[in-house]
Structure 1
Amino acid sequence: MRVLPRIRRILVAGTVAAALTVASPLAAHAGTTTRALPAHPRYVALGDSYTSGPLIPLPRLDPVGCWRSTGNYPARVAYALRAASYTDVSCGGADTTDMTASQSVPLGSNPPQFDALRPDTELVTIGIGGNDFGVFGSVISDCPPLRAGDPTGNPCQRHFTVDGVDTLRQKIDQTRVRVADVVRGVHQRSPQARVLVVGYPRIAPESGTCPAVLPFADGDYPWLNGIEEYLNGALASASADAGADFVDTFPASYGHDACAGTAAWINGQSLSPTAAPYHPNAAGMAGVAAVVVARAGA
């Protein structure tokens, strides 16, 4: 997920879905393209900050501005699968355009993530899409200030609805096309690879609220869950269209949302010494890694 300017300043100084009871319509298109994964695969991880793991111990410095952790889910997947080789080029703030272009980050730049792909790469995980068209960033920046004026209503949903159309869902539909293109680009560069597109774990609870942790209006929680579920559905659809397997982390993260206290996989609004605001913590990375490993072995 893109680190917003306010959050990025905090990080440099030191360093949203299951309330809806039906699946996203896009998820109905999800299929499988499972191929056997060799033992000890040559593994490359691509993605944004939900992959890189900002502030989760211990940080890597290549470059420091990507906030890439040695304890993120790719590192855990590589260890669990006893990967023959492992390259993690995920980077905080990345979107699909950063697969083929250098990404400017604090104190340096991250090369195009596709540069890590090789013809003999055998496993690729992709965790991308939340930053495209500013979807997650818009939610995090625009929603909390609206709570004060309507704490029990749904001011953020109304804010993003124009002429009866949810503009964030429109952007997610465009993201689906981009992610499918990313998958195709991986296949072109690494034709032997099993490709796994990793979805986003839940941020908000299925029911209830915790405004001190997630400072959104009460009525916006179901909508926020729906936005995240719709994004995951778009990723599933893109995976099926382009020949990848989708790793759905949303069900496994039930009961581990940001409101779950010590069971949370996701940090809330406050900066933690071991997790960035609105980002996974170490437990979340371990949980996502378990789902990825299980899917890789399917």
Structure 2
Amino acid sequence: MGAALLSAGAALAPAGTAAASTATEGRHKVDYVALGDSYASAPLVPTQVDATCLRSDRNYPSLVARSRAATLTDVSCSGATTADMTAAQDGVPPQLDALDRGTDLVTVTIGGNDIGFSTVLGTCVQLMSSDPAGAPCRSRFAGGGTDQISDAIAQTGPKVARVLRDIHRRAPHARVVVVGYPDLFPEDGVGCTSKSVPLAARDFAWLRDKEKELNAMLVRQARHGRAQYVNTYTPTVGHDLCRPAGERWIETFAPETPAAPVHPNAAGEGAMATAVETALTRPMGHR
């Protein structure tokens, strides 16, 4: 999701597009285009191959491409919103420009930056000390009778729908896959407030619910937008940012392995790739 949570100073390789194996799959080599934000690009996960978009060659699109012997054009970019699908992002061309009538497969992870999730998390950290045992962040965003994050999710739905329509228009023969966000917070709602996870105890459950709400919106948009939804949340339950190193697939606010704060590490990207690969073995429409 947001570039605001990214750590600085990572050693980056020269900019480039990740490429998959040149092996063929049957008689036709799959032309795969990956779109999305930092949960697709995998900032700071080794090895970084694009310094502008903080893209890794071990992100889930690269792993899926290798598994399927597909030709990959990966334009996922940290900080991307739905607007960056059709407009330039910090000098990077619109992501949908990578599509054409020959595209066979498209994956997209988008929406988190549209709702300002990284900004919300930053606010939650700032508010923690005011009520460590309570839910000061929930009170800040949902205390006036209206949940601002729920409103933002609802407003993002039509934007995602427009992205899916544009994908189908530019790549009319492609299988389109919406990849959801993995489990960031403990599924049971019990937090782990610490220096590396500076969130108030009762805000964990609220943040968990907001992420589920975001994913539910993506499910609906995929269903109505002739796309397949891939659930990466369920397969990653039990590997949230509160788990110890080695079990944690989502890094804390102070990562211990190379990854951006509150983003998937290499294991997390691998789990997302497995979820996508499993979904691709099923016919469209299968849930």
What's the CA shift string for 1:251-286, capped at 9, x where partnerless?
001111011112111111014451011111000000
Q: Which residue of 2 aligns with 1:19?
A: none
Structure 2 counterparts to residues 52-71 of structure 1, below 5 A: 52-61=41-50, 64-71=51-58
1:111 aligns with one of 82, 85, 93: 93
Partners of 1:214 and 1:205 in 2: CA distance: 12
Higher relative contact order (CA 8 A, sep 6+): 1
Preserved contact between residue 191 and residue 202 of structure 2 (Cα < 8 Å): no
1:239 counterpart = 2:222:
yes
What amino acid does structure 1 have at the position aligned with 2:66? Answer: Y
Partners of 1:235 and 1:264 in 2: CA distance: 25
Give the drift of 1:138.
Answer: 2.4
Q: Which residue of 2 aligns with 1:221?
A: 204
The DSSP-based 3-state class of the residue aligned with 1:66 is coil
The DSSP-based 3-state class of the residue aligned with 1:243 is coil
2:102 aligns with one of 104, 111, 120: 120
Give the drift of 1:40.
Answer: 4.0
Preserved contact between residue 39 and residue 81 of structure 1 (Cα < 8 Å): no
The DSSP-based 3-state class of the residue aligned with 1:160 is helix
Q: Which residue of 1 aligns with 2:147?
A: 166
2:262 aligns with one of 278, 284, 289: 278
2:179 aligns with one of 198, 206, 211: 198
Q: Which residue of 2 aligns with 1:46?
A: 35
The DSSP-based 3-state class of the residue aligned with 1:288 is helix
What amino acid does structure 2 have at the position aligned with 1:224? Answer: L
Q: Which residue of 1 aligns with 2:68?
A: 81
Higher helix share: 1
Distance verdict in 2 for CA 1:39–1:293, change over 3 Å: farther
Distance verdict in 2 for CA 1:268–1:78, change over 3 Å: same
Partners of 1:146 and 1:118 in 2: CA distance: 46
Partners of 2:114 and 2:76 in 1: CA distance: 15
The DSSP-based 3-state class of the residue aligned with 2:8 is helix
Q: Which runs of 4+ in 1 moved over 3 A?
A: 12-15
2:250 aligns with one of 258, 261, 266: 266
Equivalent pairs counted in the alignment come to: 266
The percent of aligned pairs where both chains have the same amino acid is 43
Gap runs ≥5 in structure 1: 16-37
